[in-house]
Structure 1
Amino acid sequence: MLNVEMLSTGDEVLHGQIVDTNAAWLADFFFHQGVPLSRRNTVGDNLDSLVAILRERSQHADVLIVNGGLGPTSDDLSALAAATAKGEGLVLHQAWLTEMERYFQQRGRVMAPSNRKQAELPASAEFINNPVGTACGFALQLNRCLMFFTPGVPSEFKVMVEKEILPRLRARFSLPEPPLCLRLTTFGRSESDLAQRLDSLPLPPGVTMGYRSSMPIIELKLTGPATQREAMLALWPEVKRVAGQSLIFEGTENLPAQIARRLQERQLSLTLSEQYTSGLLALQLSRAGAPVLASEVVPSQEETLAQTAHWTTERRSNHYAGLALAVSGLENEHLNFALATPDGTYAFALATPDA
């Protein structure tokens, strides 16, 4: 199996000042292309550390995706580290320098002298085009490892991986079919409860059962090679049987997207009033494309369940909405919920000792 690794660079990534979304995206993207990552490392802006880890991973990885450090500033060290690790110098890539000058000229700007650094590549490197920025990528062979150096800007990184790097990998290596991953999401059951029932299932060779917990929601994942598709599909009904009434949906679509799609299918609009959730429901549903007519965040106030239900009914009428949902403030370890529908209003109080 191809051993593919990623190296993220930069003090801001190493010290947690920014979230490494590029690493999460690459891991997911490569997994679905049949080339799952086997390791991820992060190194700060230190030349010696970069050179050391490039040399180390070149003895173990078949492919290494290096991200970041291709900018014009003094802390952008990836090209120099690659050249140093291989024992060669940097050379000017004249065609890319010309392309950068044109890039700035088209935008009515003068290219700073420091940008010239972005056209200096290791002598043996293969140039990789960047159609959406000034940081070109490059590839080089170090020992057993084919290394790709990519920009840290997410939009540039993704384009380069999809359009330049993946085609090179497919041309050079025999990649397996993407693995199969069956997913379902449950509500209200604990991870340990589900695992106790599922861990005894006889899994086909190479197939694993995974759990992702964000209580009270648990995602179950049955993952395995494409060659085990029939066996996995035969086992899946048993997984769903164990999930039972706690199963709320199957597939990769998340809960806000599920709600948005079902509202659209039923041609129902929604209005929201939130206290305890402080607008979080409206944000998630709006991002998912739900037909939210109006939403409000109300300061927490004491109210009875009957009052919550009454105000929710009024809100639905006032906004001419198909549905109205209200979440009260936390009062005496209880939350009130009310849903006004064309068929009537439903309300309940939820005990939340851990809220």
Structure 2
Amino acid sequence: MLSRGDLTDGEWTMLEPLLPRSSNRCGRWRDHRQVINGIIHRMSTGCQWRKLPERFGPWQTVHKRHARWSADGTWERLLQRVQAVADAAGDIDWNINVDSTSIRAHQHAAGAPHRSATSTAGCLKRGPATISSLARTHASAPVPGGGGGAAGEALGRSRGGLTTKIHLAADGRCRPLSLVLTPGQRADCTQFEAVMDKIRVPRLGAGRPRRLPDSVGADKAYSNSLIRSYLRRRGIRHVIPEKSDSRTARWRRGSDSGRPPGFDKTRYKARNTVERAINKIKQFRAVATRYDKRRYIYLGTVTVAALLIWLRS
């Protein structure tokens, strides 16, 4: 019997052909549907892995499956595949919007041990990749706006405590297209290019993945010359309001400052779609409050939330 939040038969029919067939080890995978339902239950309730109901099987299996698929990119590939199906059906509104949201990290999210690149290389030389080796790869990989220690795990310290920031782009139907994690104190504008570069919707047939939207909307936090130049080089129409200090400086320069940036008020009203996408993601308690120590596992949690939004849209 299905409980509230479990995959429906229609969602499972779409997802089942895309899931891994073999675990690269002795024995078989435990039933994928049962395990994924356990992951969804934990995301929806924010409970500890150890307190998962018995109907989902051993909690260790559910946790390890989520950690493995977060580390090897399985969740991201599933999300891209579902996006590809929607794009082939003409179901994606490519007038996208970009924004970010801050996530309060629980005290249990702190204290992850730092692993060096040297130990990572030694681990990866030892045969097939394990969860440990994949985790070390993520721990040593460069993080946009990150660094070592807590910053490398996308944790930033402020007056309110530890926070993580989710930067995302959403299509015109309030569904996330790309996701980037940084420490909470990182400025939005510094991650704009990283968010745009992660937009990658594959084609079901031949052809390159689609990476460029029809237009981009963003608030004043993204109003600077670097971002506008980035969008102009790629021929992307954009609606970003000009900051008051930038406008004042342009007036002072007179005719030497050039023309003011264009601004479409009607198009800018559609920027609420990214705010509504953020609200949808935060309906999952394990996303609204970060409990995961590792950045790659929390990114996997956020990606699963985005995947469910696409499946249920």
Normalising TM by the smaller chain, what interval?
A: under 0.3
Structure with the greater alpha carbon radius of gyration = 1
Compute the TM-score of the two structures, normalised by the length of structure 2: 0.22
Higher strand proportion? 1
Higher helix proportion? 2
